[in-house]
Amino acid sequence: MYRAKLKNPLPGAQWSGITTSLGEKLLETNQVDAILTMAPDALDPWKPTPILITQSTDMAKARGMRMGYAPLLALLDVAKEKGYKRLGIIGIPCQVYALRALEKELSLEQLFVIGTPCSDNTTTANFHEFLQLIDPQPETITYLEFRADYQVELRFSNGKKKLIPFLKLPLSKLRPDFFPLTCRTCVDYTNTLSDITIGYMGGTGEQWLIVRNERGENLLSMLGDSITLSSPESAGNRFGPVKGFMKNVELAAGGLPLRQMPDWLRPIVAWLMPKIGPRGLEFARARVEMKAIETVLHLRREMPKKIKNMVPNHVWKLTKQYGLQPKSDELNQ
Ligand SMILES: Cc1cc2nc3c(=O)[nH]c(=O)nc-3n(C[C@H](O)[C@H](O)[C@H](O)COP(=O)(O)OP(=O)(O)OC[C@H]3O[C@@H](n4cnc5c(N)ncnc54)[C@H](O)[C@@H]3O)c2cc1C
């Protein structure tokens, strides 16, 4: 694992642009015929659209995060028709999971899987509703990130920036199913099936890399000295915040977990959290455990019979410390 950033961050990238740089390098060095990834829709820049990129200079089009679903793997058929046998794919965990299930029958000569973590996703239409709630001129927002220091960062078309602490987000105004059940019960936040995962959650203000195998190591080495790598930091204690989150998920009864906190206290806690809350790897661990807890609680409420097939044993190990243990019919023996 590394804390990382490109020495020269790329314009338009979500963080410094490590993800799309890897695609660029793979094309430049002719190790792949195409990179399968998402570009913005021509009419709605927040809408992801699958694309096969064959020129390294075109990777710039894909930079940035767009919230929404789009059928990335549908273009595998197009890749096959075009005779592309060597592919690089950039995807979120659910896309990579499906890709690995199909991998054998694709009969590719080369496959590089560059993953990003994904905590939650929603439809682009829902995301537009969220943008409308957080700013009077939502159409001018060009960038949004849920940062690891408990703030949402917004950038605008006029170059301005704005930070909103999580605690001040108008979550109570969002529809209860803003995040669909599939995302609320996802147990692969960190994209375990990728060759390299590129996120920010454990990066304390920089990016966070998890190199998962030799292929991932080779990918990273292509960036040479254009990337700065250091050991991830870790501080604070996640136990209290994760326990508090669990209580809120229980109280929310299937909706979004709203914090039960008086309004006057919110700015104080919002100021304190980045200073004393879990940070770096401890923050990443907190999010992984929160996702595990959410999975169990939401499935118990909405689809209890699916638990034994959808909750792997390692997830129960994470939830045990919070008093959440499997009942006999919830284990897949
Ligand atoms: C819905 C979503 C939720 C995320 N949640 C987290 C999180 O909780 N924690 C975390 O650490 N990181 C998360 N990420 C990843 C994070 O936003 C950055 O993309 C990542 O850190 C890479 O930054 P970069 O500068 O290297 O990316 P860039 O070089 O800017 O490249 C970004 C890549 O992401 C692709 N992409 C953009 N939108 C989508 C989409 N909707 N579906 C699939 N691919 C897409 C682009 O096509 C591009 O290839 C999330 C990403 C998405 C798409």
How would you write 181-231 as a 3-class SS string? Answer: HHHHCCCCCCCCCCCEEEECCCCCCCEEEEECCHHHHHHHHCCHHHEEEEC
Using an 8 Å Cβ cutoff, are 227 and 15 in contact?
no
Query: What is the distance between the alpha carbons of residues 309 and 318, in angstroms, rounded to a whole number?
Result: 17
What's the mean pLDDT in 297-306?
Answer: 96
Q: Report the pLDDT value the prediction gives residue 267, as an integer from 0 to 100.
A: 67
Question: In a mutational test of the pocket of ligand 1, which residue from 53, 65, 75, 90 has the highest number of ligand atoms less than 8 Å from its CB?
Answer: 65
Report CA(238)–ligand 1 centroid distance (Å): 24
Residue 40: HSE in the Cβ half-sphere, 13 Å Cα cutoff: 15
- Read off the tokens for 32: 């792949």
Q: Which two tokens stand for residue 138?
A: 């939502």
Q: How far, in Å, from the CA of 145 to the mean position of ligand 1?
A: 10
Looking at the chain, the whole-number percentage of residues with pLDDT higher than 90 is 84
Report the pLDDT value the prediction gives residue 263, as an integer from 0 to 100: 66
Cα 252 to Cα 240: distance, rounded to the nearest angstrom: 18
Q: What is the CA radius of gyration of the chain?
A: 20
- The pLDDT, as a whole number, for residue 254 is 65
Look-up of token digits 């159409």? 139
pLDDT of 171 > 90? The answer is: no
Q: Does 8 score more than 80 pLDDT? A: yes
Q: Which atom of ligand 1 is nearest to the CA of 37?
A: 47
Judged against a pLDDT cut of 60, whether residue 260 lies above it is answered with no
- Residue 322 pLDDT > 90, yes or no? yes
Q: Which residue puts its alpha carbon closest to atom 50 of ligand 1?
A: 118
263 C-alpha vs ligand 1 centroid, how far in Å? 32
3-state DSSP call for residue 269? helix
Ligand 1, atom 29: closest residue by C-alpha: 17
Lowest model confidence (mean pLDDT) among 83-87, 209-213, 270-274, 315-319: 270-274
**Average pLDDT, integer, range 140-161:** 95
Please give the pLDDT value at position 251: 84
The predicted pLDDT at position 257 comes to 65
3-state SS class at 303: coil
How sure is the predictor about 281, in pLDDT bands with cuts at 50, 70 and 90? very high
pLDDT at 45 over 70: yes
Q: How far apart (Å, rounded) are the C-alpha atoms in residues 283 and 206?
A: 13
Ligand 1 center to residue 262 CA distance, Å? 34
Q: How many CB atoms lie within 10 A of CB 189?
A: 24
What pLDDT does residue 134 have? 95
Higher pLDDT, 251 or 35: 35
Burial letters 269-278, b for 16+ CB under 10 A, else e = bbeebbeebb
Pocket test for ligand 1, best of 2, 14, 223 (most atoms within 8 A of CB): 14
Residues 97-138 have pLDDT tens digits of: 999 999 999 999 999 999 999 999 999 999 999 999 999 999
Q: Virtual CA dihedral for 279, 282, 288, 289, nearest 10 degrees?
A: -120
Distances (CA, A) of 108 to 25, 65, 76, 174, 222: 19, 28, 11, 43, 22
| Contact predicate 12/63, CB 8 Å | yes
Residue nearest to atom 5 of ligand 1 (CA): 118
Distance 62 CA to ligand 1 centre (A): 10
Q: Which atom of ligand 1 is nearest to the CA of 121?
A: 1
Atom of ligand 1 nearest to the CA of 203: 11
User: How is residue 104 written in tokens?
Assistant: 């054998």
* pLDDT tens digits, one per residue of 175-230: 888 999 999 999 999 999 999 999 999 999 999 999 999 999 999 999 999 999 99
pLDDT score at 333: 72
Tell me the C-alpha distance between 277 and 274, whole Å.
6
Q: E strand or H helix at 273, and its extent?
A: helix 266-276
CA of 39 from ligand 1 middle (Å) equals 12
Contact assessment for residue 64 and residue 14, using Cβ atoms and an 8 Å cutoff: yes
Distance CA 286, CA 273 (A): 13
What are the structure tokens assigned to 186, written together?
Answer: 């996802």
Q: Is 61:53 a contact under the CB 8 Å cutoff? A: yes
Residue 34 CB coordination number (10 Å): 22
> Using DSSP, how many helices (H) and how many strands (E) does the chain show?
11, 13
Ligand 1 atom with the smallest distance to the CA of 119 is 8
Ligand 1 centre distance from Cα of residue 117 (Å): 7
Within 6 A (CB) of ligand 1 lie 13-20, 37-38, 48, 62-68, 90-92, 116-119, 121, 198-201, 207
Burial class (CB in 10 A: 0-12, 13-18, 19+), 316: middle
Report the predicted TM-score, pTM, of the whole model to 2 decimal places.
0.95
Per-residue pLDDT tens for 65-99?
A: 999 999 999 999 999 999 999 999 999 999 999 99
Closest ligand 1 atom to Cα of 63: 30
